[in-house]
Amino acid sequence: MQLALFDLDNTLLAGDSDFQWGQYLIQHGLLDKEEHTAINLGFYEDYKAGRLDIHAFLDFQLKPLSEHKRSELDALHANYMAEKIRPMITPQARALVEKHRQNGDLLMIITATNSFVTGPIAQEFGIDNLIGTTPEEINGEFTGKVVGTPSFQAGKITRLNEWLAARGQTLKSFETTWFYSDSHNDLPLMKLVDKPVAVDPDPTLLAYAQEAGWPVISLR
């Protein structure tokens, strides 16, 4: 069996699910536009430069989850899927996932974005296996804190190895391993798999992929 790993934001999606979740909350009057946008843009610049403080970012990203009841968040998310996410899913992205599904591969989305936001998106793609940063819950409500290792940069390797170990497997258990990503932040994991694929890559990843001879594709 082969293992096909997919980054989500700007890879399977033609956009960023976390950014769009913030925009959705702003549009519905649940976040202050100017304050949220200014802080978020600062984090995005750090992300592009490879210097993002993931814990500071997660404090920012997860705070809105702690300020609303889970039932309210679930209702908001259903509308967010329709308004923001489905329009960002291209036929090419669906076709790529389907190609690996038809091949009988084990499919997984592995993303730094939290699993509350990304869980229903994985379901939209028909992918049962998701590793996302895990928001802490107490009595079914979010606290704004994180459980375990954030699945960002080398943290994706940690979380993937933990998931595989729970199944009695390692990456070497698979005939071939694939990882599709747009970001140089995913280079640690891309360097471990058999077949890394750069998808609509950022300039740093594009330069690395071209030098390494990796495939470069577009799903847009």
pLDDT in tens, the chain (220 residues): 999 999 999 999 999 999 999 999 999 999 999 989 889 889 888 888 889 898 899 899 999 999 999 999 999 999 999 999 999 999 999 999 999 999 999 999 999 999 999 999 999 999 999 999 999 999 999 999 999 999 999 999 999 999 999 999 999 999 999 999 999 999 999 999 999 999 999 999 999 999 999 999 999 9
Q: Which amino acid is present at 220?
A: R
Q: Which amino acid is present at 101?
A: R
The residues assigned a catalytic role are 7, 9
What was the pLDDT predicted at 73? Answer: 96
Q: Considering just the CA atoms, what is the radius of gyration of the chain in Å?
A: 17
Cβ–Cβ < 8 Å for 158, 188: no
2-217: CATH topology: Rossmann fold (3.40.50)
Tokens matching residue 57: 């970012």
H or E element that contains 87: none
Whose CA is closest to 61, among 130, 129, 111, 10? 111
Q: What is the Cα–Cα distance from 27 to 42, expressed in whole angstroms? A: 20
What was the pLDDT predicted at 72? Answer: 96
